[in-house]
Amino acid sequence: MFISRYLGRTLLAAAKSETSAAAAAASSSSRTVYNPLEEFFEADRSPDEEKPIVYGRSWKASELRLKSWDDLNKLWYVLLKEKNMLMTQRQMLHAQNLRFPNPERIPKVRKSMCRIKHVLTERAIEDPDPRRSAEMKRMINAL
């Protein structure tokens, strides 16, 4: 399970330090309690509207081109979980006719995922071996 969160919480540089610190802290407690249902809800967010919620910007294509294939794979799933969480939140709030705050976060996540696929397709096109590039394209575009 990756602990690195998407750019919504920390930027690129700080993310690495956070993952190492979080890994050290969470390794002791993660084995005792881990409720997978909690992944559909936002962590550390109080129900009162005390302060404005800080969230980051989406990933840029230039930043994504620096990452390796495994990194992008992991980032894809982090983004997918974030998107599921936001959509769950939106659906639950709309069911009670409450307002969903900051709806612009979902398109940011969606566009970051789109950029990941774009970067991977670019790499697949440049591959000299046509069979491997076709396979890569099939892998990238399969659901």
Residues in the site for another protein, rule: CB under 8 A?
Answer: 1, 34-43, 45, 47, 73, 76-77, 80-81, 83-84, 87-89, 91-93, 95-96, 98, 113, 117, 132, 135, 138-140, 142-143
**Quick one: CA torsion of 143, 34, 109, 58, rounded to 10 degrees?**
-130
In the bound complex, what is the minimum distance in angstroms from residue 22's beta carbon to another protein?
Answer: 17
Spatial contact of 38 and 85, defined as CB atoms under 8 Å apart:
no
Nearer to another protein, 19 or 74 (CB): 74
Give the Cα-Cα-Cα angle 32, 78, 49 (nearest 5 degrees).
Answer: 80
DSSP 8: T
Spatial contact of 53 and 100, defined as CB atoms under 8 Å apart:
no
Nearer to another protein, 36 or 126 (CB): 36
In the bound complex, what is the minimum distance in angstroms from residue 75's beta carbon to another protein?
Answer: 11
In the bound complex, what is the minimum distance in angstroms from residue 137's beta carbon to another protein?
Answer: 12
